[in-house]
Amino acid sequence: MSLYRDLLFGKFCHFELSMGTPDATTLGRFRTQLVKHDLWELLLGEINRQLEAQNIIMREGRINIIDATPVEAAQSGPGKTKGGESKQDKDAGWHVKNDAKGHLKSTYGYSIHTGVDEDGFIHCQSVSEGSVHDSKMTDKLILGDEVALYADAAYSSQKLRDKLKGFGIKDQVQRKGYRGNPLSKQDKQRNKLIALTRSGGERLFATYKRHYGLARTRFLGLAKNITFYGLAAMAVNIRKGAKFLEQMGLSELETTG
């Protein structure tokens, strides 16, 4: 809608006054092509490459903060179609977890899994059905060249510790206690120190849900939601990159290559 109302938006997108303005169907067809050809990761990679060329994203010495959050499916409630089939999104699943107060909370939908650096730039992202445990997606979020991996206790396992050691990545994953084997005082203190940096991964989800209105999916099916949240990841990095450029006293991002 901003393209119709604001000439500055049109100028930014290189639309002349004599040109037509794309409507919702144009954007829908573009999104369909992204889904069909699975292009969002390539596009995010290109955005990040240009940000690296501007020395906004720093690859050398970066850390990786991984985390996940549930989002409700566009169709999550009970109900049947005329044919007797469930109206719920078939690709979604139940995400069950205790909230901060220890109360069990269930969400029918998907989980968004991300890896961000210390500045909050997204380097990797994946979407799964809600029933997939966070730790099952770890392999898709490890970059391999980060100096340290930060994560909450949900990701804690000996298997992950061995993998990080093999890559030469510093283990900054919080530890978790077990029945009969509670956390030691040293581990509790270690968890507190890690939490100071790890919380940076949660700010992204606040942006998705509060500012982008993405606490609930807008499309049915895993493939469409992978691409849609991929577009959100691109928007986050472009917006953050623009802010960095402004702080550096530069007016626009120069494309390279």
- Ordered domains of the chain (ranges, CATH): 1-35 (no CATH), 61-222 (3.30.420)
- HSE toward the beta carbon, residue 181, CA cutoff 13 A: 4
Is residue 2 helix, strand or coil? helix
Mean pLDDT by 10 residues, the chain (257 residues): 71 73 74 84 95 91 96 87 82 87 88 96 96 95 96 95 96 93 94 94 94 94 94 95 82 47
Burial class (CB in 10 A: 0-12, 13-18, 19+), 134: buried
Q: Which residues have CB under 8 Å from 103's CB, separation 6+?
A: none
Q: State in Å, rounded, how far the first CA of the chain is from the last one.
A: 32
- The letter for the amino acid at 78 is P
Taking the model in full, what pTM does it have? 0.85
Burial class (CB in 10 A: 0-12, 13-18, 19+), 68: buried
Q: What is the DSSP letter of 135?
A: G
Distance CA 235, CA 241 (A): 10
DSSP element (H, E) containing 63: strand 63-72
